[in-house]
Amino acid sequence: MGTTTFRDVRTADGRRLRYEEAGAPDGVPVVLLHGTPGSRLGPRPRASVLYRLGVRLISYDRPGYGGSDRHRGRSVADCAADVAAIADDLGLDAFTVVGRSGGGPHALACAARLPGRVARAAVLVSLAPHDAEIDWYGGMMPSNVDEFTTAGQDESRLVESLRLQADRTRRSPVSLLDMLRAEIALPDVLVVRDHAIQKLLLESYAEATRGGPYGWIDDVLATRRDWGFRLEEITQPIRLWHGAEDNCVPAAHTRWLASRIPHAEVEVESGSAHFGAMEILPEILSWLAEPALVAP
C-alpha cells in the first residue's frame, strides 16, 4: 500500500524544485525538510508505513541538492517560499512540516513565514541560530566545529573544503558515512550499523551531491547567517526532539530553541543521539497527522 510519485515545479524566480510524494494520497500532508547534506530520498519510513499512519509525505531537494536548482545567497527563511510553491502545485491550503538536523531551522522558517498554512511543526536535532546565548560549539564533534567556524571566518576556504567533500561523496557515498562513524556518539554508531538505514543514508548522500557541492555550501552559510525570521513569531504548536548524547548538534541547541519558541513542547531523550531522529520519525509523523488537524 502507498504510492510514490516525483514532480518538478518552478518557483516565481524560475528555479526548478524537485519533490516527491509517498504514503497515503488522501492522508494528512506533511512536508519533510532533509538534513545537511541530504535529499528528498530520505531517510524516511517506507510508503506502506506512511500509508498506515495516514500521512501524505512530501519531501523535496532543497536548492542546490539533487534535482533542485541552486539559490545562491539564500537565507534559511527563503525556504518558506519554496515550500509554498510546492504546496500550491499540489493544491494544498494547509499542511504540517518536519525538519531534521539542517532541515530543522528551515521547518521553523516555514512555521514563522506561513502561519496561515502550516498547522504545526516538528523539529528534530536542530541547530540554534549562530548568535544564540549558548556555548554553540560545546560538545560538538571536531569536523562540525571546523565546518561552522570556517563558515564564519573564511568563506572561500569553506567552499573549497566542501567542494572536495562533496566530490568524494558523489564518487563514494560510503566515504562520508565512514568519516561520520569515526566521530559520532555510540548510540549513533549503533543506529547506522543497521543495513536498511545505511542504504537509505547512502542513497540520500549520493543524490544530494549528484549535481555538485552547492546545496551543502549554501546550507552551512545560511545557518551561520541571520536566519531571516524571529522565533517569537511562531504561534503554532511546535514539537522539538533531541538525543541527549548528540555530538553532531548538541542538545543545548534544542533546549535554547524551546526557551524562545511560544507553545513549544520539548523532549531530550537519554541514550539517543543525532541519528535517533530517524527512529523517532514515525512517532513524530503520527503527531503531525492527528485527526482534524489539517484538511487534506
In the chain, domain spans: 3-288
pLDDT at 292 over 80: no
State how far the Cα of 94 lies from the Cα of 287, in Å rounded to an integer: 16
Residue 187 · residue 272 · CB < 8 Å: yes
β pairing state of 3-10 and 16-23 = antiparallel
Average pLDDT over residues 108-136: 97
Percent of the chain with pLDDT strictly greater than 70: 96
Mapping DSSP to helix (H, G, I), strand (E, B) and coil, where does residue 6 land? Answer: strand
Residue 47 burial (CB count, 10 A): 18
Contacts of 54 (CB under 8 A, 6+ apart): 24, 27, 28, 289
pLDDT band at 290 (very low <50, low <70, confident <90, very high): confident
pLDDT tens for each residue of 181-204: 999 999 999 999 999 999 999 999
DSSP element (H, E) containing 242? strand 238-243
Contacts of 190 (CB under 8 A, 6+ apart): none
Average pLDDT over residues 110-123: 97
pLDDT at site 295: 44
State how far the Cα of 211 lies from the Cα of 171, in Å rounded to an integer: 12
pLDDT tens for each residue of 27-57: 999 999 999 999 999 889 998 999 999 999 9
DSSP string, 121-182: EEEESPPPPTT-SS-TTTT--HHHHHHHHHHHH-HHHHHHHHHHHHHHHHH-HHHHHHHHHT
State how far the Cα of 154 lies from the Cα of 143, in Å rounded to an integer: 16
Average pLDDT over residues 268-295: 88
State how far the Cα of 278 lies from the Cα of 45, in Å rounded to an integer: 9
pLDDT band at 3 (very low <50, low <70, confident <90, very high): very low
249 to 15, 19, 89, 166, 243: CA distances (angstroms): 31, 27, 34, 20, 9
Residue 220 · residue 161 · CB < 8 Å: no
Would you say how long the chain is, in residues?
296
Hey, what CATH topology would domain 3-288 get? Rossmann fold (3.40.50)
DSSP element (H, E) containing 5? strand 3-10
State how far the Cα of 164 lies from the Cα of 81, in Å rounded to an integer: 30
20 to 61, 274, 289: CA distances (angstroms): 9, 24, 18
Residue 186 has which C-alpha cell? 555510540
pLDDT tens for each residue of 147-189: 999 998 999 999 999 999 999 999 999 999 999 999 999 999 9
Q: Which amino acid is at 125?
A: V
State how far the Cα of 84 lies from the Cα of 11, in Å rounded to an integer: 9
- pTM of structure: 0.95
Q: What are 31's strand-pairing partners?
A: 58, 97
Give, to the nearest 10 degrees, the angle between helix 195-208 and helix 173-181. 120
